[in-house]
Structure 1
């Protein structure tokens, strides 16, 4: 955990969030600035700055994260029409919080390229 990280503060319940899923390894909550009608962030509770910081020690954590995403999609009612999963990495990738997070976006048609 990093004291200055807003997502670590959400994990520690120092900042409120509308949580849709939580277990011992990950947490998923609604984005406060949604880019789609359904916009949930799925994050590991372990502080990992970005996708480039994942190590072999994180393999089980990342496999677990990916294995729960379908259930979160079903909870949100996104399984029929689908959704987009996005990971922004560093400044040029559009990452604004230095804690690895996956954006789950749905309930509207996603265009390509995204921009």
Structure 2
């Protein structure tokens, strides 16, 4: 699997973006193609391609994703009205970049998670 991608280049600052948060475990920044008024990506600083690649060694990183999501939701003042956290895994889910990432979406009513067919 390729070791660098757009997310690793953002984490290492090879690609400049407006970082919302960065520590030793995770990095957060705005999605370049927002689907809601607030659309933030929160990514581990190490490459974990998909949820299927998670190990018990990654538990602290995964917990940090959620802690940072809650902090950003509060900072963006969407914590009370509500927000959605999404992690896609592989092709059928719509995962486009094979570096685990969490979408934080909010700022408007988001409707049902899946559309009825």
Same fold (TM over 0.5): yes
C-alpha distance in 2 between matches for 1:61 and 1:91: 23
> Are positions 1:84 and 2:84 aligned together?
yes
- The residue that corresponds to 2:29 in the other structure is 29
Per the normalisation by structure 2, the TM-score is 0.91
RMSD: 1.4
- The residue that corresponds to 1:20 in the other structure is 20
Residue 6 of structure 1, CA deviation: 0.8
C-alpha distance in 2 between matches for 1:100 and 1:86: 11
Q: Which runs of 4+ in 1 moved over 6 A?
A: none
- The residue that corresponds to 1:58 in the other structure is 58
Per the normalisation by structure 1, the TM-score is 0.92
* Contact in 1 for aligned 2:41/2:102 (Cα 8 Å): yes
C-alpha distance in 2 between matches for 1:70 and 1:17: 21
Structure 1: segments with no counterpart, 5+ residues: none
Alignment size in residue pairs: 114
C-alpha distance in 1 between matches for 2:26 and 2:35: 22
Task: Report the secondary structure of 1:79's partner residue.
Answer: coil
C-alpha distance in 1 between matches for 2:99 and 2:81: 29
* Contact in 1 for aligned 2:49/2:99 (Cα 8 Å): yes
Residue 64 of structure 1, CA deviation: 2.1
